[in-house]
Amino acid sequence: MARIALIGGTGLVGGLFADRQLAAGHHVLHALVRRPAGRRWQEHVAPPEQWPEIARRIRGAIAISALGTTMRAAGSWPAFRAVDHDLVVAFARAAREGGARQLILVSSVGADPASRNTYLRIKGETEEALGALAFDRLDVVRPGLLRGKRGGDRRLGERIGIRVSPITNLFLRGSFGPYAAIDASTVAVAMERLVGQVSPGTYVHHNADLRALARA
């Protein structure tokens, strides 16, 4: 089994992905975390500024970033960017230098470096920076609103959106389908299917793609 370096493994999607990998006996999953998480993975507890060097030493074949913060937690856009862009890019660059051939990134629907929306612009700039790192394969996962147990850090708008998603999803079809809500567990299964894919290039996966991968 390929060695995986993972950041964001204690978050909603990253945690579900990690649990599936561990349940399948994938014990070469290396997680970079700020504090002990109690999972049976290979755990590297360190301040985030040390993660790039750790990622380089791990020499994983696959790097995965499910890392992301919120404005509520970050407190400012510069602090948000420091996590969702700077830390993710530094991790990915170090993993590539350590020999990683594939990178899987959990991003966001609507990510665009030219967006007027600061959140989506930062997400798009992150995708753009990762695309320049010359991975053999880059998988960009762009889910809509994630449904699942995240804890108390959800915005009010997110909580409302999740509650009404069974209704709104009925109307979000066709070109609006990528903006529909999707179960985080579906995204995690789709990511599991992407691990180890060898066809070179950059692939962007929206809701429909993720659901198809999860059913495969």
Q: What is the pLDDT of residues 94-127, one digit of tens each?
A: 999 999 999 999 999 999 999 999 999 999 999 9
96 vs 56: CA distance, rounded Å: 8
Residue 174's pLDDT is 57
Residue 216's pLDDT is 85
Identify the structural domains of the chain with CATH numbers, from first to last.
4-215 (3.40.50.720)
pLDDT band at 135 (very low <50, low <70, confident <90, very high): very high
Where do the DSSP E strands lie in 26-84? 29-33, 42-45, 62-65
38-61 pLDDT per residue, tens: 899 999 999 999 999 999 999 999
Residue 168's pLDDT is 47
Token pair belonging to 42? 């290979």
Residue 72's pLDDT is 87
34 vs 207: CA distance, rounded Å: 30
